[in-house]
Amino acid sequence: MTADALPERPAARPIRRSAPRTLGPIRPRWRWVETKLLLIVAAALLVGSVSLSGGLTGALALYDPQTLSVYLAALATGHIAFVLAGRRTDQILLPVMGLLGGISLLLMQRLPQDLVTQHWFGNEVGLAQVQLVWLVLGIAITSVTGIVVRSDSWLRRYKYTWAAAGVGLLLLTFVFGSEVNGQRLTLSIGPFSGQPSEFLKVILVVFLAGYLSENRSLLMEQDTRVGPLRLPPVPYLAPMVAMWAIALGIVVIQRDLGAALLFFGVFLAMLYVATSRVSLVIIGLILFVLGSILMANLFDNVRERFDIWLDPFADPLGSGYQVVQGLHAFARGGLFGVGLGNGLPLINGNIPIPEVHTDFPLAALGEELGLVGVLAILGLYLVLVERGLRIGAAAADDFRALLAVGLALVIGIQAFIIAAGNLKVLPLTGVTLPFISYGGSSIIANSLVVGLLLALSDKGVEPPPPPAERSRWDRLRRRGAA
């Protein structure tokens, strides 16, 4: 059987090698779909900028054209880079991300600039300028990742190393992190600070994709019976659950509910995609509900979040203030919104939602763009996820498929968690709205996700590693095929 299998391999190679293995001679390739979509994005942002100017100053002109042109130039540069690189990658992801980032930029321009101030090279820069830097950096990261990454073996082979790095990152935060609002989320090293959980989510997806693709058949085909439940063999599930429990445990210690929910959701979805086992998802959900009840009983700030969620109007000026003001913002927006720059009435010179730029951007957009705008933004996230899932479904092997699915779901589930928190569907948690919330870690991590998705969408990449380095599953499948 093994001998029969060997001659087949060369036949498969030419297909996989249709694209150049190295950068080699650059062969530019027009991306007309991307060009057209980016032109629409640019037009939408220009209209938005004029509308913002009308709302804030009453003048029908571009609002702060310099900032917007820097952003559009960054998008155009990314696009041209993709054209020049000539890879056959997805043409929809970049425009969608560009529109979300542009909406973020308009929102940050519209908010009071002193919400965030940083001193760079002796200059004081405000909210929109800082966000512009992150957004441009994000486009750069997406482009570089999408163009340069051709092999996935560096992700596939070192999955345990990545997992260890992720856990180490969290431990560092736990020991050296600074506490904000009862949560230890921010890690500061020298002048840099960031939220490690944003990067940890990417690492988690890489690890899960690696582990699940390698052990997929075993998880699917063998059973351990526990009462009426049919579980996969425990030894194969254990390392993954342990990895997940460590990540979740540290997150629990940090009191970062949103990240815990996100990790759990992504974990369950990937587990389901890999095994098709609904029983695992149900067990996971039960465990999650039990864990939530336990956490609500153990930690005061978790219970408070639950209480606020159940009835924010019980204390509309105290603990429920932000959530209530967020709901009021949606209500003021109504169907069509009050227009960019016309919402968020000032009380004593302050905006009604203090954390609007990080936790409540959707509420601000709901007020100024209305339900129509909120639906459009939700639609953009769904398009992102749909592209990612398509990339996964069309992927050449299980690792790439699970990686693409996981990366897409990270963005989709995160957007869901915070949007649901803003609209009182779930308790409010501190995760960011991808590409729209203010914050460097969030934008860079999500840009990396889109970059990896772009790389994975390439129709021709380096072939998988030689057989010796392959997993047991691949060898089994190869034998089975022969």
Q: What is the distance between the alpha carbons of residues 221 and 158, in angstroms, rounded to a whole number?
A: 26
> Could you say which of 219, 401, 407, 410 contacts another protein (CB under 8 A)?
401
Q: Are 252 and 288 in contact (CB under 8 A)?
A: no
> Could you say which of 378, 460, 463, 478 contacts another protein (CB under 8 A)?
378
| 241 is a site residue for another protein (CB under 8 A) | no
| 381 is a site residue for another protein (CB under 8 A) | yes
Q: Which residues contact 41 (CB under 8 A, 6 or more apart)?
A: 75, 95, 98, 99, 102
Q: Which residue, 72 or 407, is less far from another protein as judged by CB?
A: 407
DSSP 3-state percent helix, strand, coil across the chain (nearest 5): 70, 5, 25
Q: Which residue, 182 or 345, is less far from another protein as judged by CB?
A: 345
> Could you say which of 342, 432, 441, 471 contacts another protein (CB under 8 A)?
342
Closest CA to 154 of 481, 480, 455: 455
Q: Are 127 and 116 in contact (CB under 8 A)?
A: yes
| 354 is a site residue for another protein (CB under 8 A) | no
> Could you say which of 128, 237, 405, 452 contacts another protein (CB under 8 A)?
405
Q: Determine the interface stretch with another protein among 142-150, 154-162, 243-251, 401-409 (rule: CB under 8 A).
A: 401-409
Helix (H, G, I), strand (E, B) or coil at 403: helix
Q: What is the distance between the alpha carbons of residues 441 and 173, in angstroms, rounded to a whole number?
A: 14
Q: What minimum distance in Å lies between the beta carbon of 425 and another protein?
A: 5
| 389 is a site residue for another protein (CB under 8 A) | yes
Give ∠ CA 444-94-391 in degrees, rounded to 5.
95
| 286 is a site residue for another protein (CB under 8 A) | no
| 384 is a site residue for another protein (CB under 8 A) | no
> Could you say which of 39, 43, 238, 394 contacts another protein (CB under 8 A)?
394
Map 102-168 to HEC letters. HHHHHHHHHCCHHHCCEEECCEEECHHHHHHHHHHHHHHHHHHHHHHCCCCHHHHCCHHHHHHHHHH
| 369 is a site residue for another protein (CB under 8 A) | no
Closest CA to 66 of 129, 7, 21: 129
Residues in the chain, total? 482
Q: Which residue, 143 or 342, is less far from another protein as judged by CB?
A: 342
| 413 is a site residue for another protein (CB under 8 A) | yes
Binding site for another protein (CB under 8 A): 269, 272-274, 276, 316-317, 324-325, 327-336, 338-339, 342, 344-347, 352, 366, 370-371, 374-375, 378, 381-382, 385-386, 389-395, 398, 401-402, 405, 409, 412-413, 416, 419-420, 423-425, 457
